Structure 1
Amino acid sequence: MPVYIEKVATPSPQDRTDLAKIYADAPAWLLAPHASADELIAAGIERGTLVAARFNDRLLGAALLEKGENRWLLSHLCVRKITRRRGVAQRLLDEALRIAVEDGKPLHLGAPRDQLESQAFAAHVKLPLESL
């Protein structure tokens, strides 16, 4: 079965559990400027920027996707630890890039510049990195 990418507007109780598991082991720098995973998830739902990767009715990864006038920004990308290294983040990234290009906007990654992991990921996927 394929991994589907969707906007999370009205998450079910299971979706909320899955989102909590996705961000449960995320480092604090990935959650910033939010104080917790719960705040990040709530803000993403409220602003309509939370997107997620679904496989077999479960959410495996999530990110915030802000659609700006000049560029789109993908940030807070995280995949559930048990599911990492299986292409879920790449699928989220590919879909965000596809729809940004359809809208005629470049896609940027948002993360703290001082995090080597963020710098390496941005270089690997060949996208500009914006500081959050």
Structure 2
Amino acid sequence: MRMTRRPVPALARTAPVLAATILLWSTPEAWSQEPGPTPYRADCRTEIEGSRATAYCHNPYPVLDRIQLHVECARWWDVDTDSAPADVPPAGDLLLTDRCWKEVRSAWVSHQPVNGAPGASGASGAPAAPGG
């Protein structure tokens, strides 16, 4: 018995090629020869325990990162605080602590490049909720 092949629709034959072409053209960063910006932000985590906030930071990059701990107090009469800026050296660790009189509402770390780290501008940071 002779087997006959069913014709494959043209769309089914060209679909993989079309999908690959779309993926290549939609992500120019993937094939760009220009290097991306050098990251500079230290990895930081914050912990809130009662009236004290602590930031643990590690800088895995070869550039200096200037960080600052910001603490927002829960009580309206309690003054929010910002630590003095501190430099985290390349491959270095840093611990910052600050406190409120009563409970801490949130704490976060802002980053600022030092000596014009490429691709970085201004300070940035995001608040952390208590316990995280």
TM-score greater than 0.5 by the shorter chain: no
TM-score tier after normalising by the smaller chain length: under 0.3
Normalised TM-score (structure 1): 0.23
Largest Rg, 1 or 2: 2
Q: Which has the higher contact order (CA 8 A, sep 6+)?
A: 2
